[in-house]
């Protein structure tokens, strides 16, 4: 089966009647075909997950930023949703985790369209000034697996608590002094208390004032971009995970230290991949105070990519009454992204799956994201980490399905409104002036058989694929209304 990259496979499904009322027989037939083709039903047993095999289309869609939204070359609004891969990659010596190619196909079958792929300065440049080509080859192989699965990805130069010198990940050991590493007494609990260690602060201060270290960081990024040059599914770079300010004033750190470094990295990346989206994170103070001090600096193709956590949940607290907090945060984040003339994308969110109200949290978050039409990558895929979708042993956590929802992945229109009400989803928008390409809805393949159209307004036909539905419109600039049901 061929998967058309970006728009998903078509099984040549029959046309649906205008204004709804899909033929029940046709729908059941499509469902049957899908079940035969994919052999999938529920995603609770990993061994029975859908397998989408190649070959894939060579040409990926090209993305850019227009009026605060990611758009493709046909002007469609692009929503990307997926996961971080993965926490296990933090661990040496390989920094490649345990994922194998079928894992990437599983991620696609969950309805995900993007991966935030973790990489590390220490893995790219284990010795001062020396790039580890074998590591980059192995990274490129994972990128290829993602490409064959039909997944876009952006690369995240990850770090937590400076680097492996403090038992964490990020900056190579050689970037700081043994006497600072010696200040580590025992693993901090919770982990982010490690940022209080004076040795950690000293190493950050050194990084933010050393032109030499920053030149090495830039060289590591350039090597990653060069190695991944031939992969059109790589859409961008997340310049640094949760940058920490050391002993600088958090109110001026971003403007005075972080943004100058971002600018140099961006200039280097643009020489290699001018098409990349540039995912810019605020400093980690965002996770504490909920605000950023980044200043507009005219970076083209910028994506403002904060993380969305609440400190109480980060130490295992329940979700409880935090919905207004998250709603307010999303509004504030939107304001900050507009100030930067950037698109907004939540690069990390999630928590311990152990909270008793975790499903409520996930459902509320998805509703908030839908309302604001925002893309995201959930933290994280697993296996092993308590936040992860996949448990040790490879089975999905019981709550994981809550993240696997349909959403308008490519929208040939404007002014979208997307709302879920139980099993019923409503998507309304004004059709684009240019209707050469369809609207594409991504959805988890295990729900394909249950797709039922309730209303289709201004729709010529719809085609169902393995985890995509393509919607072809009749009239430009007219209101489109799609109502469908996907049984859980």
Nearest to 279 by CA among 348, 367, 327: 348
Q: Are strands 307-308 and 63-66 parallel, antiparallel or unpaired?
A: unpaired
Minimum Å distance from CB 180 to ligand 9MR?
Answer: 19
Using DSSP's 3-state secondary structure scheme, residue 221 falls into helix
Q: Are strands 277-280 and 302-304 parallel, antiparallel or unpaired?
A: parallel
Nearer to ligand 9MR, 5 or 120 (CB): 120
Minimum Å distance from CB 254 to ligand 9MR?
Answer: 18
Minimum Å distance from CB 398 to ligand 9MR?
Answer: 19
Nearer to ligand 9MR, 5 or 345 (CB): 345
Nearer to ligand 9MR, 160 or 405 (CB): 160
Can you say how many angstroms the Cα of residue 319 is from the centroid of all Cα atoms in its chain?
22
Residue nearest to ligand 9MR (CB): 160
Please, what is the Cα angle at 60 between 59 and 66, to 5 degrees? 130
Nearest to 191 by CA among 297, 316, 291, 298: 316
328, 321 in Cβ contact below 8 A?
no
Round to whole Å and give the CA distance between 90 and 86.
Answer: 8
The answer to whether the peptide bond before residue 380 is cis (omega within 30 degrees of 0) is yes
First-residue to last-residue Cα distance in the chain: 26
Minimum Å distance from CB 193 to ligand 9MR?
Answer: 11
92, 388 in Cβ contact below 8 A?
no
Minimum Å distance from CB 187 to ligand 9MR?
Answer: 9
List, in sequence order, the alpha helices (H) in 239-283. 250-253, 259-272
Minimum Å distance from CB 385 to ligand 9MR?
Answer: 5
Nearer to ligand 9MR, 99 or 456 (CB): 99
Nearer to ligand 9MR, 283 or 385 (CB): 385
Minimum Å distance from CB 179 to ligand 9MR?
Answer: 23
Nearer to ligand 9MR, 236 or 347 (CB): 347
Based on DSSP, count helices (H) and strands (E) in the chain, helices before strands: 13, 21
C-alpha to C-alpha distances, 252 to 166, 172, 248, 294, 476, nearest whole angstrom: 26, 26, 8, 9, 48
Minimum Å distance from CB 240 to ligand 9MR?
Answer: 11
- Residue 12: count of CB within 10 angstroms of its CB: 10
On the CB side of 470, CA atoms within 13 Å amount to 20
The site for ligand 9MR (CB under 6 A) is made up of: 87, 90, 160, 168, 191, 242, 307, 314, 348, 379, 385, 387
Nearer to ligand 9MR, 7 or 333 (CB): 333
Nearer to ligand 9MR, 253 or 379 (CB): 379
């Amino acid at each position: 089966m061929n998967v058309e990259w970006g728009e998903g496979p078509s099984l040549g499904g029959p046309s649906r009647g205008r204004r709804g009322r899909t033929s029940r027989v046709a729908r059941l037939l499509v469902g049957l075909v899908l079940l035969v083709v994919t052999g999938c039903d529920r995603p609770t047993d990993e061994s029975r997950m859908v397998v989408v095999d190649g070959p894939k289309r060579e040409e990926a869609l090209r993305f850019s930023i227009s009026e605060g939204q990611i758009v493709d070359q046909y002007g469609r609004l692009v929503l990307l949703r997926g996961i971080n891969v993965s926490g296990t990659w933090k661990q040496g010596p390989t920094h490649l985790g345990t994922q194998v190619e079928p894992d990437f196909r599983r991620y696609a079958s969950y309805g995900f369209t993007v991966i935030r792929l973790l990489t590390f300065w220490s893995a790219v440049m284990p010795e001062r000034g020396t790039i580890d080509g074998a590591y980059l080859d192995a990274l490129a192989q994972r990128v290829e697996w993602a490409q064959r699965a039909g997944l876009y990805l952006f690369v995240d130069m990850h770090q937590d608590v400076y680097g492996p010198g403090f038992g964490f990940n990020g900056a190579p050991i050689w970037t700081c002094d043994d006497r600072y590493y010696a200040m580590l007494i025992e693993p901090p609990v919770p982990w982010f208390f490690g940022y209080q260690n004076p040795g950690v602060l000293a190493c950050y201060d050194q990084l933010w004032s050393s032109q030499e270290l920053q030149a090495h960081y830039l060289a590591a990024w350039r090597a990653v971009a060069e190695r991944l040059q031939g992969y059109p599914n790589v859409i961008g770079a997340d310049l640094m995970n949760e940058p920490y300010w050391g002993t600088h004033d958090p109110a001026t750190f971003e403007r005075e230290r972080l943004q100058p470094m971002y600018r140099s990295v961006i200039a280097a990346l643009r020489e290699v991949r001018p098409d990349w989206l540039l995912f810019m994170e605020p400093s980690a103070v965002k996770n504490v105070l909920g605000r950023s001090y980044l200043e507009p600096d005219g970076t083209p193709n910028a994506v403002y990519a904060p993380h969305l956590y609440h400190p109480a949940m980060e130490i295992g607290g329940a979700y409880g009454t935090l919905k207004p907090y998250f709603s307010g945060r999303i509004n504030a984040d939107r304001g900050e992204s507009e100030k930067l003339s950037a698109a907004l994308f939540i690069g990390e969110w999630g928590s311990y799956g152990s909270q008793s109200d975790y499903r409520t949290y996930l459902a509320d978050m998805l509703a908030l994201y839908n309302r604001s039409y925002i893309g995201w990558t959930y933290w994280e895929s697993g296996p092993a980490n308590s936040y992860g979708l996949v448990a040790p042993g490879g089975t999905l956590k019981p709550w994981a399905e809550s993240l696997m929802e349909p959403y308008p992945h490519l929208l040939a229109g404007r002014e979208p409104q997307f709302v879920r009400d139980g099993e019923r989803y409503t998507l309304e928008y004004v059709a684009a002036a240019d209707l050469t390409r369809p609207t594409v809805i991504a959805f988890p393949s295990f729900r394909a058989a249950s797709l039922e159209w309730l209303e289709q307004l201004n729709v010529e036909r719809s085609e169902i694929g393995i985890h995509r539905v393509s919607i072809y419109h009749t009239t430009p600039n007219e209101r489109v209304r799609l109502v469908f049901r996907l049984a859980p």
